[in-house]
Amino acid sequence: MDIISAIILAIIEGATEFLPVSSTGHLILTAAILNVPQTDFVKSFELSLEFASILSVVISYWRLLLDWKILKRLAVAFMPTGIVGLLLYRVFKEVLLGNQQIVLWALFLGGAFLVLFELLYRERSTIDDLSRIPYKHCLLIGLCQTISIIPGVSRSAPTIIGGLALGMKRKTIVLFSFLLAVPTMIAASGFDLINSAGTFSSSQVGILLIGFVTSFFVALAAIRLFLGYVGKHNFIPFGIYRIVLVAMFYLFVIL
């Protein structure tokens, strides 16, 4: 993988990490368009980009991450994903990550579900304080997030939909989803980098650093834009976008 490809992938990751469109799915499809093979290094590179995006959340919301009440709720929400991720890490990296067909089906079905959910959803929001989210809600949101181990599902989509279904305000669950990404992606990316770091060459380390910095700054801007969007709009456009993306990929890349 060359530096140009690394920068393109980093921009894609930073722009999509917090949107309900699956940043992992976008990375896999973009790598296919750029003819970047899904080697072990590329898979680790993609996970490191996600780590960089999550660092932007830490920088933006570090005060919330120091609130003990919020931290306890994040810990409860993280438990299901942590357990499933630990048990299925090898399956995720060796079988699921990089599989185009799984990504395309997950993007399509997830997009259709987003549209259907928003059409049927009737706002009954009562929870607007992160520090007062019931622990059972946190656990259920965490269970929703476990679905995102499938590339193309999107980590944020099931957590946001789960929170809305439980009666949380849209901005509240989106922010909780941002914060929940911190332990989730630190665990996933950190575990992978610890296992793989010794296999990287000096040139690969340089590519990792370039991608990391690019993804961080793009994600920093994307967070603010997305929070501004959710205050006035629903997620139907994202659902339609996912369906159109799959159709375009089949028409112009696969066929």
Residue 254 predicted with pLDDT over 90: no
Residue 231 predicted with pLDDT over 80: no
Domain span holding position 190: 3-254
| Residue 213 to residue 252: CA distance in whole angstroms | 31
Task: Work out the mean pLDDT of the chain and round it to a whole number.
Answer: 87
Give residue 138's pLDDT: 95
Q: What is the pLDDT of residues 64-92, one digit of tens each?
A: 999 999 999 999 999 998 888 778 766 76
Residue 11 predicted with pLDDT over 90: yes
Q: What is the pLDDT of residues 167-214, one digit of tens each?
A: 898 889 999 998 998 888 777 666 666 666 667 778 888 999 999 999
Q: What is the pLDDT of residues 115-137, one digit of tens each?
A: 999 999 987 767 888 999 999 99
Residue 95 predicted with pLDDT over 70: no
What predicted TM-score, i.e. pTM, was given to this entire model? 0.87
Q: What does the DSSP assignment read for 220-240? A: HHHHHHHHHHHTT--SHHHHH
Query: How many CA atoms does the CB half-sphere of 167 hold within 13 Å?
Result: 8
Angle between helices 40-60 and 23-33 (to 10 degrees): 140
Q: What is the pLDDT of residues 132-165, one digit of tens each?
A: 999 999 999 999 999 888 888 988 899 999 999 9
Give residue 126's pLDDT: 76
Identify which of 98, 105, 112, 95 has the alpha carbon closest to the alpha carbon of residue 30: 98
H or E stretch at 119: helix 100-120
| More confident position, 9 or 42 | 9
User: In the numeric block, which tokens belong to residue 233?
Assistant: 């709009």
| Residue 174 to residue 38: CA distance in whole angstroms | 31
Q: How many distinct structural domains can be found in the chain?
A: 1
